[in-house]
Structure formats: C-alpha cells, structure tokens
A and B are shown apart, each in its own frame.
Chain A
C-alpha cells in the first residue's frame, strides 16, 4: 500500500492505494476488516460504476458490524435509505437516483451524517458538497471482470490513522461468507 498526502484547495487529502480485490468474496472480506475499524459517527462515501461492487463491500461491512446473516443487505437504490441494527446503527444510502445535492438537503438526510450511527453512502459523489469535512472516501474501479481496485482516501481528521494503515489481508476468511452479491 502506498500513501500520498496532498492538498487540494486547502483541504488535506490523504490517500492510500492498492487494495486489489480478485473476487466478490475478497471485497466482502475487505468490508469485514473495515468494519472492525469503524467508530460511531463515521461516514464512508462509496463511488464506482454500476456493478463495481459498492453494495457487495457494504454487505461485508454490515456483516462485520454484526448485522445478523438472516437480515439481507439489499440495494437501497429504490428507497434511497435502508437502516440496519448492528453493533452500531447503520444508515445505508444510495444516491443513484438523485441528480443534485440540493435534493439531498431537501430530504434532510444530512442529519444522519451527524448522528451516532455509521453512514455508508453509495453514489456519494452526488453529495460531496454536503458531507462534513472529515470522511473516508472509498473508490472502487473495475480492472477486469473479476478484479477491482479499491482506493481509500481520507478527508479531514481521524480517518487516515484508522483506515489507511495496518495490514488488510483479504485472503483471511472470517466466519461464513454470504451468498449472492
């Protein structure tokens, strides 16, 4: 993993590259590892093309946050927000249908971002302007039919130390893996 620190218009952007996932199972495992580092109030903003694996990664995170296996983590594209109870409240957003952040403001969703729960936001690029200063951006890129590069970018304080250091061994199998996805 390599790290880069740069400044864009005065905001410090800390980057850590190079998680390569070879399969949906890898992506799910990465999610479980990320879950172990999550604290109340964290905001994780996901971006990536359709089919890149955003929901898959979030399924792993939810399992890692102890959402029981019989609760399915489904795509919130249709309803915009799904809520789950794990060891923390989880707000799973999907802004796929939204066209601009004014609509997100109108909906009042940003109130969730400042609560004690964890906000996991798909298609977060639609909401960047209303996100707090500190959050973790997770960018998923499709490299081949099975391979994905998963990039962590820390904004503001508190995320770099937790998420962009230490080892991430995706081959570690934790508990049972969820089917589908």
Chain B
C-alpha cells in the first residue's frame, strides 16, 4: 500500500491528497470554508457539512489531475474518523468508504490529531522515536510523547480553552473578526509584546496541562475595565459570536502602513479608529506573547520530563510566526532538535492523513459499514 488517497473533512477544510510512501505528496487540494463562515464569526456545523458534500468530489478530482494518476494506481484510502464535527466527519468517511468499496481497496482510519503529528514526517522522514509533539489548534492544545508509529502517550492537555480558541475569542473581543490567529499574528508584529503584561497560567509545578480561559478573561477585563476600555465604547457588539457583516473595512484600508496582505475575506470591523490601532496591536501582542510563553514553557518542561531530544509541532496555531520563532530560539538554547512542518502542513490538510495512514496500515480494513464507532478516535487516548 504505497500510494494512498487521503480525505480530511473534520472541520471547515475539505481536503484530499495522494501521498506516496508516506512522505511524497503527489497531489494535494484544499477548499477552505473560512469565507463561507466568516460572517458568522465561526464555523457553522450545518453549513460545513453541506459545503463538504458540495466540494469533496471536485477536490478529489483535483488531486488526481495534479498527480496525473488514475484511480487504479491508488492502493488504499485513508480518512479522518475523528475528532471533529460529526456531520463534517461523516461526509469524508462516507466518501472514503464508498470509493474504497467501489475500487475494492482497503480503508485506513486515521485520528485527526495523529495526522497533525505525522505532518512532521514530510520535513523529517527519518525522525527518530521517541519524540514529543505539541499539537495546538482551534480545538486542541495537547502534548504527546510519540513512542512509535501509532503509539502515543498524552502528557498534557488544555483544562478549558484551546489556544486557537483563545485567539479566535480575543480577536472577537478586539473586533478583528474570524479567524483570529492570522490577524493577531500580523497585528502583534507591530507592537511591543512586553507593553501589556497578561497573566500566564503555568498551573501547578511540573504540570504539562494548559489553561487559557483565565488569559481570555484577563483580555476581556482589560478591554472592559482597564486601559483598553476606550476601545470598548465603539465595540459594544462584540458580545455575540455571530456578527453582522455590514460596514466592514479591510485592514489595509485602516492600516495603510501595516502588512496589507490579509487572507482573502478577512476584514476588520470599523471600530478600529486611528487612535485605537496602537492599543489594539499592543493588546494583540501582549496576549499572543502570554499564550506563546506558556506553549514554549510547557513544551520545554515536557522535553525535560521525558528526557527526549526531539520536539515536533503541528496544528493550525503552529503556523503562528511568533510561536515558530520562539520555539526555534528555545530549542536552540537547550540543544533540542526541533521539527517544524511548513505552515500549509500545520493547518488542516489531507497529506498528513495520508502519511499517518501509510505508517499505520496494519489498521487497514475492508469493513464497509458506516458504524458509529468509525467516528470515535482511533489511535490516541
């Protein structure tokens, strides 16, 4: 089973890829629904499922076109079976099983988080076990000890909000729209991260768990009661997750000197009057630095505790430029070997599912039923 077609639909990305020998991407295609969800301030599950149905076949055709392969050259199909939005997962699962049945191919279930761990194999195919992997995204903030293929131990996890969720919610409070990660990353580059000092939750000594809820509340308090409150007056509608889409301006209009290239569809609400820009950037920078201090601190704690020498990262937040810088610096200082996949392999994608499927093909099955257990997590704790 060397040539694997992989399908990933756990949240708001519809993705497919063809991966050869686990680490060579022959074709990869992603449709991001950010545009479709932007006006709601988050992913809308029902829309997500419908969009997956509309796009998945086209995405799979794309990867065949890109790779130049025909379906007879595919030897197995890997698909994300969880965790994620159930309706979204089912679309990918049904398509993958139907194709496997029609083409008479084995089918390999893959855990979404396992996929994020395997993204590192594209940059380091011979990565040595054991290694520690920080998986940090909108739904997860986990530290794993990866002992071998398909063999993971959970070292720490979030006790409340995931790091990416904190980014999204803080962006909401600051009126920066959805998703929060990229826009905070960009704004924070223009301010001093030490100017506003938000709390870092390191929890009890030695713990490798995370907590970002207190930090989120601290930012909310700063905006409501602290020095940031002057930005609140014009920002009263931040309370709702769903926003109304009128009267928006793009960040480049408001901030002509700043980085003007935001992802398509990302806009900033009109509350960003000229006097507030510096303030919002400082809050963004202070918040981001607090998150990153904890992510880096806990990762280093995990290296010390486990005594392993290699750290890998994955998940959407791992594409944050400041986090990458800070991890590189910390690992250099400690002599830790750091494996960072490029940003397009950190965010949700199907190539990583193909890699995880290739290295765990003993799980391959020819059970075509769409049983509920297929949506349970497969490899991880």
Q: Contact residues of A with B, CB < 8 Å? A: 24, 49-51, 53, 55-56, 59, 72-75, 77-80, 96-100, 103, 106-107, 123, 126, 142, 144-145, 178-181
CB-CB < 8 A to B221: which residues of A?
51, 142, 145
Closest residue on chain B to residue A48 by CB atoms:
B239
Contacts of B203 in A (CB 8 A): 179-180
Measured between beta carbons, the chain A residues less than 8 angstroms from B213 are 55-56, 75, 180-181
Give the chain B neighbours of A55 by CB distance below 8 A: 160-161, 213
22 contacts between A and B (CB under 8 A): A49-B220, A50-B239, A51-B169, A51-B219, A51-B221, A53-B217, A72-B209, A73-B160, A74-B160, A74-B161, A75-B162, A79-B83, A96-B42, A97-B41, A97-B43, A98-B45, A98-B242, A99-B242, A180-B160, A180-B213, A180-B214, A181-B160
Nearest first, the 10 A-B pairs at minimum CB distance are A51-B220, A97-B42, A180-B211, A78-B139, A51-B217, A99-B242, A145-B221, A96-B241, A180-B159, A99-B40
A91–chain B nearest beta-carbon distance, Å = 14
Min CB distance, A94 to chain B, in Å? 9
Q: Quote the shortest CB–CB distance from A67 to chain B (angstroms).
A: 13
Chain A residues whose CB sits within 8 angstroms of the CB of B40 once the complex forms: 97-99
Which chain B residues lie closer than 8 Å to A50 at the CB level?
169, 172-173, 216, 220, 238-239
Out of A80, A96, A179, name the residue touching B85 (CB < 8 Å): A80
DSSP majority for the A interface?
Answer: loop
Residues of B within 8 A of A (CB): 11, 40-47, 83-85, 87, 138-139, 157-162, 165, 169, 172-173, 201, 203-204, 209, 211, 213-214, 216-217, 219-221, 224-226, 238-239, 241-242
B214's contact among A75, A107, A123, A181, by CB below 8 Å, is which?
Answer: A181
Known contacts A72-B158, A145-B225, A180-B159; A79 and B241 CB within 8 A of each other: no
Complex contacts, B158 vs chain A, CB 8 Å: 72, 74
Which of B138, B159, B238 is within 8 Å of A72, CB to CB? B159
Shortest distance in angstroms between A76's beta carbon and chain B's nearest beta carbon? 10
* Cβ B165 vs Cβ A78 within 8 A: yes
Set of chain B residues within 8 Å of A79, measured between Cβ atoms: 83-85, 139
Smallest CB-CB separation from B37: which chain A residue? Answer: A97
Query: Do A181 and B239 have beta carbons less than 8 Å apart?
Result: no
Chain B's nearest CB lies how many Å from the CB of A84? 14
A75 to B214, CA, bound (A): 12
Q: A53-B217, A145-B225, A178-B159 are in contact. List 15 more A-B contacts (CB 8 A).
A: A49-B220, A50-B169, A50-B172, A55-B161, A72-B157, A74-B158, A97-B41, A99-B40, A107-B45, A107-B87, A144-B225, A179-B204, A180-B201, A180-B203, A181-B160
Question: How far apart are the CA atoms of A77 and B42 in the complex, in Å?
Answer: 9
